[in-house]
Structure 1
Amino acid sequence: MTTPTAKSRNTTAFYIQAVVAFGVSLFGTLVGVYYLPIDPWQKGFLIMTALFLVTSCFTLAKVVRDQQEEAMLREARMERLITEHDAPFKMSKN
């Protein structure tokens, strides 16, 4: 039987890298749209689209994380049930 391992955590460097990459990419997108030679309403549309894409990505990441955590909880509950079910039989062998 395998024992559950501790959930791995991201390092501080990885967290900082992800935040900086997100900031640079969002800033680059917004600056690029700002300097496009198009009408202001078209720029506004592109900026709103980019912001909607960003919020949608955050929502998708949260949903995926929640599903993974739920799967891990279900697995841990099942493991506990199996352990509790097998406990009387293990004691009787001694």
Structure 2
Amino acid sequence: MTKPIQPTQTTAYYVQAILSFAVSVSSVVIALVYLPASGWIRAFLALGTLYVITSTITLSKVVRDRQELSGVSTRVDQARLDKLLAEHDPFRVDSA
């Protein structure tokens, strides 16, 4: 029996994701600092940005957890099938 290959991410993928997040957040923060508006408007937009960031992190964790859960159930189903196939004897004759 061969084990299924687990997908892996490279270090470059993690670095790209972190840099992308850092660049996007810093560009929004810089835009808020230089926005020609009153402090209340900037604070409102900053709070909205913070909400978007936290909800995005929550969404990514939920998607990851769901994917891991489906992977676990798939492995359990595969183990059950392997056990049934190992116990099955196609040449056995049932006496009635």
TM-score, normalised via structure 1 length? 0.87
Instruction: Decide which structure has the larger Cα Rg and report it.
Output: 2
Paired residues in the alignment total: 92
User: Could you say which residue in structure 1 is the equivalent of 2:51?
Assistant: 52
Higher relative contact order (CA 8 A, sep 6+): 1
1:63-89 deviation line (CA, Å, top 9, x unaligned): 001111111111110111111122122
Q: Once the two structures are superposed, what CA deviation does each residue of 1:27-71 show, in whole Å capped at 9, x if it has no partner?
A: 000110111111101100100110110010000000001111111
Identity, % of aligned positions: 32
RMSD: 2.0
4+ residue runs of structure 1 moved beyond 6 angstroms? Answer: none
The runs of 5 or more residues in structure 1 that have no matched partner are none
Amino acid at match of 1:40: G
Give the residue type in structure 1 aligned to 2:22.
G
Alignment of 1:1-94 (within 5 A): 3-90=2-89
**Secondary structure in 2 matching 1:36:** coil
Structure 2 gap segments, 5+ residues each: none
What amino acid sits opposite 1:42 in the alignment? I
Secondary structure class of the residue paired with 1:57: helix
Distance 1:12 1:90 in 2: 47
Distance of 2:90 and 2:82 partners within structure 1: 12
